[in-house]
Amino acid sequence: MSPIQNRRRAAAATLTAALLVPALAACGSDDTKADAAAPSASPSAGTRAANLTVLAASSLTDVFKTAGAAYEKAHPGTKITFSFAGSQELAAQVKQGAPADALVTADTKTMDALGVETNGASVIAKNRLVIATGKGNPFKVAGLKDLANTKIKVVLAAPEVPVGRYGKQILDAQKIEVKPVSQEPNVRAVLSKVELGEADAGLVYKTDSAKSADKVATVEIPDDQNAVASYPAATLKQSKDAEAAAAFVAWLSTPEAQKILQDAGFQKP
């Protein structure tokens, strides 16, 4: 091959290489852009998964379902599971080491007795007692003294239950002796007895009676004869996610959570 032919072949090869380099670079650029545009599979900044179990007094059943949904919506990635029961039952669960992250009771006495298992409780709401009667109040119950009428089947919560202890307190203060047909493990059980007609009247929280306004009648108890129920909330030392638990307990005192509680009939802390 002549020197001229060699030079022509070299020039052609150089030109081909020059054309290929931009094309390859362009392909690489497109891939980089595509990768950058692809959505990330990781959680958005500032959010992380958290699964919380909250033990709560029976009287919080309805309002906490609403509050829990609101909290989960505002905190993507967080899932709250509630376990409702009488405060004394919840305390027993905590002492037995039941897996949970936070606790809300219907009285400070129960919470105070769990000082070793909890972290700094704070009151998030208050409540008062009322008399729940059958729909239409067929026995014309007007106040606490009427509960002493042996013709009226009265149901109360057991004395170790917060609402039962509050009930005993106000009846004793008025020197009213009541012989209940049964003593129930929590306020919801008391209300259920009245709803089903198995009892004519019972002492329950105002919020519970209001929730069942279509099934029972409510008789108010004057403030000077009543008792105030306080609801303290605290994280549990056994929590596996102390940070998330503390965030939820703190949220219960925020304006958003307080509005939900007060819309349900609970009083300010």
| d(C-alpha 267, C-alpha 18), whole Å | 79
Residue 26 domain flag: no
pLDDT of 11 higher than 90: no
| Residues 177 and 149 both lie in one domain | yes
122, 105 in Cβ contact below 8 A?
no
pLDDT of 33 higher than 70: no
CA–chain centroid gap for 21, Å, is: 63
| d(C-alpha 48, C-alpha 68), whole Å | 17
pLDDT of 37 higher than 90: no
* pLDDT tens-digit map of 64-117: 999 999 999 999 999 999 999 999 999 999 999 999 999 999 999 999 999 999
How many domains is the chain built from? 2
| Residues 139 and 223 both lie in one domain | yes
CB-based contacts of 184, cutoff 8 Å, min separation 6: 155, 156, 157, 158, 161, 164, 190, 193
Residue 4 domain flag: no
| Residues 224 and 234 both lie in one domain | no
Output phi, psi for 228, to 5 deg: -100, 125
pLDDT of 38 higher than 50: no
Q: What mean pLDDT value characterizes the chain? A: 87
| Residues 165 and 202 both lie in one domain | yes
| Residues 132 and 215 both lie in one domain | yes
User: Cα Rg for the chain, rounded, in angstroms?
Assistant: 32
| Residues 87 and 165 both lie in one domain | no
- pTM value surpassing 0.95: no
Query: Which pLDDT score is estimated for 8?
Result: 41
Q: How many CB atoms lie within 10 A of CB 23?
A: 9
Query: Which pLDDT score is estimated for 189?
Result: 97
| Residues 95 and 163 both lie in one domain | no
**SS3 per-residue string spanning 34-59:** HHHHCCCCCCCCCCCCEEEEEEEEHH
Q: How many CB atoms lie within 10 A of CB 172?
A: 10
| Residues 68 and 185 both lie in one domain | no
pLDDT of 6 higher than 50: no
CATH number at residue 145: 3.40.190.10
| d(C-alpha 247, C-alpha 118), whole Å | 15
| Residues 207 and 241 both lie in one domain | no
Residue 55 domain flag: yes
| Residues 171 and 212 both lie in one domain | yes
| Residues 159 and 81 both lie in one domain | no
Q: Whole domain around residue 75: which residue ranges?
A: 50-126+230-263
* pLDDT tens-digit map of 113-159: 999 999 999 999 999 999 999 999 999 999 999 999 999 999 999 99
Residue 168 domain flag: yes
Residue 18 domain flag: no
Query: Which pLDDT score is estimated for 49?
Result: 84
Residue 183 domain flag: yes
Q: List the one residue out of 101, 121, 100 whose CA is nearest residue 110.
A: 121
Residue 35 domain flag: no
| d(C-alpha 49, C-alpha 65), whole Å | 20
